[in-house]
A = this chain, B = another copy of it.
Amino acid sequence: MLSKNTVKFIKSLHQKKYRFESGKFFVEGEKSVQEVLSSNFETELLLATELFLEKNQKLLESFRGELISVSPKQLESLGQYQSNDSCLAVVKMKANQPFSPEKDELIIALDDVRDPGNLGTILRIADWYGIKNLVFSPQTAELYNPKVIQSSMGSFTRVNFFYGDLEQIFQKWNLPVYGAFLDGENVHQIKRVQPGVILMGNESKGISEKLEKWISKKVTIPAFGNAESLNVAIATAIICDNFKRILGS
């Protein structure tokens, strides 16, 4: 049965403060929960409707957390979805663990991308293009924000990420850094690239000045019309697409 304390606890996870105090976040909706249950994230608590339980028996065989049966109405009062007839999972955050990149991989770095929807969409793009590793400046949106989780469509379970000082990280890695600017080399005309870091800047300010000295090459998405800019998630997608095309694998 769903206790008042559990209700209160899940509702508290809408706020960053309580997510970080508890080290937990929530995931809702059938597809995202299926993905988190199949991932190496640890799901502590699963609230599920009869419908979800019936459809996902196989997946739930190996589930070792607490399971509570709930109605769609109860789910809808807990999460951010207006309608949810399936499930909501409470999941443990991962430690903020730096990774060491390979020499031949593409990595995405985000410099203060603040909008949770943009971050979630960028995770999905990374996952589409087989980019496994992402690094975020400390002021980038919080990955465990429910809007990030929702817009990533489960992709947050398949990428590695950590938050850190990008200057120190670029210095340590010593890899080419490609920065998206309005005055760089046209990505349609680049013939060769070395794998490295694709750096994307803040929604309104772009890439911060202190990071400019780490840029090996400025790249630009060619404009053919009059829009002044593209949304950062759109720009990330186009640059990843061009880099993957040029790298050819």
Chain A residues within CB distance 8 Å of chain B: 117, 121, 124-132, 153, 155, 158, 188, 221-231, 233-234, 237-238, 241-242, 244-245, 249
Contact = CB atoms under 8 A, between A and B. Distances in A.
Copy number in the complex reads 2
Given A127-B226, A227-B128, A221 B241 contact: yes
Nearest to A237: B234
A128 to B, nearest CB: 4
Given A153-B227, A188-B245, A237-B238, 6 more contacts: A125-B234, A128-B225, A129-B225, A130-B224, A155-B227, A234-B237
Nearest to A122: B234
A158 B227 CA distance: 9
Given A121-B234, A231-B121, A237-B237, A129 B188 contact: no
Contacts of A237: 230, 234, 237-238
A187 to B, nearest CB: 8
Contacts of A249: 224
A127 B241 contact: no
Given A233-B234, A237-B237, A238-B238, A158 B225 contact: yes
A127 B126 CA distance: 25
Contacts of A128: 221, 223-225, 227, 230
B225 A127 contact: yes
A107 to B, nearest CB: 14
Contact of A126 (B124, B225, B244): B225
A82 to B, nearest CB: 14
10 nearest CB pairs, A to B:
A130-B224, A130-B225, A127-B227, A128-B227, A188-B245, A234-B237, A127-B225, A238-B241, A129-B224, A155-B227
